[in-house]
Amino acid sequence: MSNSEKKHIVTQNDVAREAGVTRSMVSYVISGTAERSVAPETRRRILDAIEKLGYRPNKAAQALQQGDVAFASKKIGVVLCNADVFRRPYYAEILSGIHTAAYEHKYQVAFIRFFEELRDPVLFNELIHPEEIGGLILVSTDQVLKTDDDYKILSTTRERIQKIVCVDWKCDGLTNILFDRQEAAYKASEYLFHQGYNDIGYIGENDERVLGVRQSLLERGIFTSEKDFYLVQAFNMTGGYDGVRELLKTRSLPRAVVCGSDEVAIGVMSCLNERKISIPEQVAVISIDNIETASYTTPPLTTINVQKTAMGARAVEAIVGSRDKKTAFEPVNILLPTSIVVRKSC
């Protein structure tokens, strides 16, 4: 086949001629360069030309022109704690926030991986490299940091990637975007007290949320040990359901229950409904997260709203906001506020 018969590769020059603009203007629109504003009508002509001609960026040429590190600067990697995250609506909203914000800022999510995959040194060296990504978002990684080797992976990651943001967990020396779990549980307990419930228990993860419930009890003059109010350790719907089922074999439930998450609460309420234990007449239930399903339980679940989508978006914005700064990527802690969503479960 002769060169003339080969399919023509559409370039930015072709797009510029079609749109009647300069090549540099096309480059500004494609790259999303923040410093250069482009009139909406001009932007539309360029985008129409791109669609008409079927223009695709030549990644190899871009990398050659800009340098591998510069080319990777607008690519973000995402590392999740484990595969279970994909089944959890809480994390789905965080990922939605990441993807939406990346799109709006013309950044690209280069990969979504699980932390355990980074234990493969070949894959680790392929992905965790400044020539591959300009920023990295670690979602709830504290749940899977167990061994010295795990912490070594984290340490090496910090050496290679300057812009790292932790979402829904806190790591010293890194930018952290999360909500105050202790405060959220405290708010939930205080709401129950204000509604007239004095006999309160907790079902959920053993973390700062336990401290929040304890703080509320102590402030009310209810001096009790953790074993008295911490009823069941549960992480999901199954844990909440099975925990209550086993609990009811040996004791009665308190008048009100704080659940560590909506998923745990859904399991708890399912078991209570199955046993014909009326909510909230016999047992009131409140939880933390405000996932979409919470408004469709029976009865609808009162919960503490966590800004899940905003956490994902703020993580991207933290990376984007430092792109053109000459100063180092300074770590910050961002605590997003929570608020109560009152429904009918308490």
The full set of domain ranges for the chain reads 3-57, 70-179+309-336, 181-305
Q: Label the pairing between strands 339-341 and 302-305.
A: antiparallel
DSSP conformation class of 173: T
Integer CA distances (angstroms), 271 to 288, 295, 299, in order: 19, 18, 13
Are 211 and 230 in contact, with CB atoms under 8 Å apart?
A: no
- Say whether 181-305 and 70-179+309-336 share the same fold: yes
Taking only Cα atoms into account, the Rg of the chain, rounded to an integer number of angstroms, comes to 25
Q: Which residues contact 84 (CB under 8 A, 6 or more apart)?
A: none
Choose which CATH entry (3.40.630.30, 1.10.260.40, 1.10.10.10, 1.10.357.10) describes domain 3-57: 1.10.260.40
Integer CA distances (angstroms), 331 to 105, 158, 171, 322, in order: 21, 12, 10, 11
Query: How confident is the model over 114-173, as pLDDT tens digits?
Result: 999 999 888 898 899 998 999 999 999 999 999 999 999 999 999 999 999 999 999 999
CATH superfamily of 70-179+309-336: Response regulator (3.40.50.2300)
Percent of the chain with pLDDT over 90: 66
pTM: 0.80
Helix 262-274 and helix 237-247, axial crossing angle in degrees, nearest 10: 40
Q: Which residues contact 218 (CB under 8 A, 6 or more apart)?
A: none
Residue 249, amino acid: K
pLDDT in the model for residue 178: 96
Query: How confident is the model over 302-324, as pLDDT tens digits?
Result: 999 999 999 999 999 999 985 55
Sheet harboring 230-233: ordered strands across? 230-233, 200-204, 256-259, 284-289, 302-305, 339-341
* Residues 242-257, mean pLDDT to the nearest whole number: 93
Integer CA distances (angstroms), 147 to 85, 142, 144, 161, 252, in order: 21, 11, 9, 21, 39
The CATH class that applies to domain 181-305 reads: alpha beta
pLDDT in the model for residue 5: 45
pLDDT above 80: residue 6 = no
Integer CA distances (angstroms), 135 to 28, 64, 140, 316, in order: 22, 20, 17, 9
How far apart, in whole angstroms, are the C-alpha atoms of residue 310 and residue 93? 9
The sign of the torsion formed by the CA atoms of 155, 161, 162, 164 equals negative
The sign of the torsion formed by the CA atoms of 126, 308, 81, 88 equals negative
Burial class (CB in 10 A: 0-12, 13-18, 19+), 92: middle
pLDDT in the model for residue 328: 58
DSSP conformation class of 341: E
CA angle (21 as vertex; 17, 25 as ends), nearest 5 = 120
Q: Which residues contact 77 (CB under 8 A, 6 or more apart)?
A: 109, 110, 111, 113, 127, 128, 132, 133, 135, 136, 137, 161
